[in-house]
Structure 1
Amino acid sequence: MSSPDGLPPLRAVMLEHGLDPKRGLGQNFLLDLNLTARIARQAHPLAGATIVEIGPGPGGLTRALLAEGADRVIAIEKDARCLPALKAIADHYPGRLEIIEADALTIDLAALAHAGPLKIVANLPYNVGTQLLLNWIATARWPPMWSSLTLMFQREVAERIVAAPGSDHYGRLGVLTGWRTRARILFDISREAFTPPPKVTSSVVHLLPIADPEPASLDALERVTAAAFGQRRKMLRQSLKPLGGEALLEAAEIDPRRRAETLTVSEFVRLANHIRSA
């Protein structure tokens, strides 16, 4: 029995190609084509855009992106076992799917952006998802090579991405994403929707780049957030001691008795700029 797109059901694809998910690769396959279509629609409009998908596995989201109208999808897959399944999708949608066997952590996005900005849409492997996001945000080039990110994370990571000051989830990741993007959680996906079911709920997050974020040294901002949240329960005069402590905080007009989770993104930027000018 075929699926609505005329291709075999994903479970049959997995069985045919021996695609048992590998824990070491962070693989949890989403097989519900209704859910993959819902994710794909969050990145609309797809027509005319180059879509980059990370870790497509047996191709559930890949198929949804193409069925929803993506003219060009670039699927980056590290697991060679998945390539034949992806090749079958490419044959079904001639000229619209390019498959790259590679580790997404090593991919140069600029080399893929032949016709304007990219849209990245992915059910990210849990073991590298946060690092990939940081790579895409903490880049010297801004505005970036991507125009939007539609990504699935563990719920806990998603909450850290969108966290506001004062939240228990607010930390280095929230500052960096808040500095350069507008991020929001779109919806959750139950663990039972995956094969194998992960231990936690997942969330789909949508991020748009801010064209003109507050000027700051990326290196300095990473240093100050790492120091501040590395000892988040301590006052800033103590946690930021290696970077200047009270003198730095007074120069930035920030009360040294405050703690990291109370600072806004703009205040972290101010601290970073004073480190750079010191």
Structure 2
Amino acid sequence: MQHFVAPSSIVRRIWGSADTILFIFAGAAAEFALNKAVDWLYFTGRLPSDPLGRLFSTVDYARRIVFADQAAAEQAIDTIAAIHGAVEAKRGHAIPDWAYRDVLFMLIAYSMRAFEVLERPLTAAEREEIVEVFGRVGRRMGISELPTGYAAWRLAREQHLAQNTLLSSYTEDLYRQYERHLGWARFQLLRGVQGMVVPPSVRGWLGLPDGAWLRPPLALYRATRSFALSQWAKNAMLPAEYRDRIKDLDAQPAEVTPPPSRGSCPFHRAGAPTGLRRRAA
């Protein structure tokens, strides 16, 4: 059986852990709130009503791609693409090309940053592999002008951050929704995690703390995560009703649940990466 992502890949290690997944989406939720195309998140109206549910829907699809065989992964990507084409048709215009690349760049950037905050520095080969894997996802969806290596991606990423971020009324509303659904204490924890993983420019736009106060508990977590006690850290990040879903993020690939239906495509509904779709030929 041909896998879309090799079983030994660093990408599988990153996306097979609840720890790194939660940090990835914390960072992406911050950055996309500043994206100039964030209005697309509001078109369906589902993000403000259920940002946490949309997060888990996004995770389900991303893991389906990472852990699937080649054919199943491509089918999942094509489904996402088709749904986004329908959303664009309903709104009457297309999401900008640069917005699609921004989303893919976020997946790459926060996969790297979350792993390095929680685990260790990535090797040069691992960085190249992460860019290559998500590049294949993007090319399958028809996203144009994608960089083909880490150095080119890093340059393009800096250009996109400089050109495509803006503090807006959508930014403010998204953060109000995050706080409303998380509660004040968890919202402060979210902001701390975001401050640890986002680029300095994003931290400055949003007025995020640098997350220094989280380093001692994070060190404790690293020391205890091989024990059941480590679950406390993951549970602390989201309300109690999501605890079972958090545990599921640590499931082995064979345990991953079936993909969501066509109507639950995450990328235009979630509070994190959104907006990918396949270009018409």
For Structure 1 versus Structure 2, the TM-score category normalised by the shorter chain is: under 0.3
Q: Give me the TM-score of the superposition, normalised by structure 2.
A: 0.28
Higher strand share: 1
Higher helix share: 2
Q: Give me the TM-score of the superposition, normalised by structure 1.
A: 0.28
